[in-house]
Structure 1
Amino acid sequence: MADTMQFDLVAPERNLMSVSVREVRLPGENGDLSAMPGHAPAIVNLRPGLVTVIDEQGSEHQFAISGGFAEINNESLSLLAEIGRKKEEMDQDAFDEMMRAAERKKKAAEAEEQKHGAEEVVASAAKLLADMEALGTQIGLYKYSSDSSN
């Protein structure tokens, strides 16, 4: 078994990282997980949170994502983030953009619920918003109240 695997992190605006890695820690929708070389194939939905990458030299890199998904196999991990930034590039404006996107999804889900009774959609959107708040708290940028307006 190899000691490293290929890791690619892509966000809509750019490719954030493409390197050989020892380990990637992911904020999975159903719980956090680590992927290492030889990992069983999986596709994982991601919630907002920090992705931690340990490169082949043992250096740690962190990225804040607003969600997305990861495709894992024994030789590679490809992560497609809805919105992603290097942790050190996260500032209040970038976090605010991520929060506004989560708030829009929640409002759209609430409107859908009123039309079609889709409670599970609202619950999912509320969880997304709560996960964004947790991410902001973790990186020191959360400043919203639950009734903030856009």
Structure 2
Amino acid sequence: MEKNFHLEIITPQRVVFSGDVIDFAAPGTNGGFEILKNHAAFITSIKVGEIRVRQTDGYDDYYATSGGFVEVHDNKVIVLAETCEKASEIDVNRAKLAHERELKRLEERSNLDPNGAMQAIARARNRMRIAERRLKR
């Protein structure tokens, strides 16, 4: 029995992924969740975190997302993400610089929206963590 279902990960800039997968896991705003074939239909929001995609060959790919929405219906999962980068696409140095820049802005409190700065720090940390996972392989 085939265990595959179709997944699309889309951002405003591009289609990040489109293909058949065995498993999908994402950071829901109410807790992480996992999708397998024949999952019940639903729509939910996702937050900053890691998306895991298990390919049909059993290999896992990891993506950093800054949030968005997921729709599951009839063995098709559509992710509409604000941003989403595959671990292998993440520039670790750029993520570290963004993290350091936001920490400095937060310390200096210069023309700063503290909530926005904390969100930027969370996004940078997420990107660094997922990129470092790739480097450990």
TM-score by length of 2: 0.72
Give the Å deviation of 1:40. Answer: 1.1
1:41 lines up with 2:41 in the alignment: yes
Runs of 4+ in 1 over 6 A off after TM superposition: none
The two structures, once aligned, show a CA RMSD in angstroms of 3.0
| Residue equivalent to 2:129 | 138
Residues 116-127 of structure 1: pairs in structure 2 closer than 5 A: none
Residues 59-70 of structure 1: pairs in structure 2 closer than 5 A: 59-70=59-70
Structure 1 gaps, min length 5: 111-121, 142-150
Give the Å deviation of 1:135. Answer: 1.5
Aligned-residue sequence identity (percent) comes to 25
Give the Å deviation of 1:128. Answer: 4.4
Give the Å deviation of 1:126. Answer: 8.1
CA contact (8 A) 1:11 1:81 kept: yes
1:71 lines up with 2:62 in the alignment: no
The alignment of Structure 1 onto Structure 2 pairs a total of residues equal to 121
Moved more, 50-59 or 84-93: 84-93
Structure 2 gaps, min length 5: 107-111, 133-137
TM-score by length of 1: 0.66
Cα pair distance change 1:33/1:41, threshold 3 Å: same
User: Partners of 1:16 and 1:36 in 2: how far apart?
Assistant: 20
Give the Å deviation of 1:138. Answer: 2.5
CA contact (8 A) 1:51 1:65 kept: yes
